[in-house]
Amino acid sequence: HYTVYEAWLGSGHHGEMGYLASERARQRRADPRRILPECQSILVLGMRYPAPELVTPPNSSGNYGRVSSYAWGDDYHEVIVERLKGLVAFIEEQVGSAVANRWYTDTGPILERDLAQRAGLGWIGKNTCLINPRMGSYFFLAEILLGIEVEMDAPFVADRCGSCTRCIDACPTNCILPNRTLDASRCISYLTIELKGAIPPNLRPFVGDWVFGCDVCQQVCPWNQRFGPLEGDPAFSPQPGVPFPDFLEEIRLTPEDFNHKFKGSSVKRTKRRGYLRNVAVALGNLAAGQGGEIAAEAVAALSKVLQDEPEPLVRAHAAWEL
């Protein structure tokens, strides 16, 4: 898939994620031995997180947004890293000596979905996610590069998406491309997490009520609806107030409140300014769609942001939404 990756970069579909296009990152994705010269095998692992349907949303008449279910619990970087360390220790115990290794969980330049497919974990679906026929697609991937040979599993060669296009049809921003890649610059997950500046005005209405990430292309997938379990690893169980945050409370979060609420959470990646930017957009979208008392409360909350909020990025989006 390296040629697909290069073509994707050449088309500018990585948006402002410049770290994906650096020469060092490209070289390492082309050959994992540039990461670990002794590498002879790569162990690819997956860990489930909960499906969005695990938690029932609050009454639809309220001012509630949505957070992608992967971020409901503890930060997966911290959880999985500790388990990778433990697995490396186990391997070295079995071998009886130190083993050259490097491990990643969304933390380094590696084509992990390609490796996962070659390791037999599933196939890359039309929504660009790796799909396992028994587990669906709600799982994190991780890799351990090893300086020893291990028995290889058979690759997963079947494409079980068939003629289904539910994910493509359901994407709010039409960011899913025909070649199983996506235009990240239009993806709601990119807009609400990776993008550090202003969300393009023409895309703001399509963000809907999402304040961190998006699950739509996975929610409509039949493999998740029919076969994937709802529960994930207990470490990723939903924390109170995270899956469906109250806009009127979130828009008032001080830096201290934000750090306290999202301590140990993936949501901290977007920082307070990015999170409140997203809340302002989602609150405006909700108010515009429902009107009435909700619109009045939204106007009051966004007006207060204009008066009191020190972050220009948040004020600018509040003004636009008003």
CA 149 to chain centre: 32
Q: How far apart are the first and last CA of the chain?
A: 44
> In 3D, which of 247, 277, 272, 243 has the Cα closest to residue 258?
272
Report the alpha-carbon distance of residue 13 to residue 10 in Å, rounded. 8
**Phi–psi pair at 141, nearest 5 degrees:** -110, 150
Q: Which residues, including other chains, have CB under 8 Å from residue 154's CB and lie 6 or more apart?
A: 120
Q: What is the DSSP letter of 290?
A: H
Residues assigned a catalytic role? 106
Residue 223, helix vs strand vs coil: helix
DSSP string, 14-46: TTT-GGGS-HHHHHHHH-GGGT-TT--EEEEEE
CA torsion sign for 61, 63, 68, 72 is negative
Q: 168: exposed, middle or buried (C-beta count within 10 Å: 0-12, 13-18, 19+)?
A: middle
Please give the helix or strand (H or E) that residue 101 lies within, else none. strand 101-104
128 backbone φψ class: left, alpha, beta (φ>0; ψ -120 to 50): left
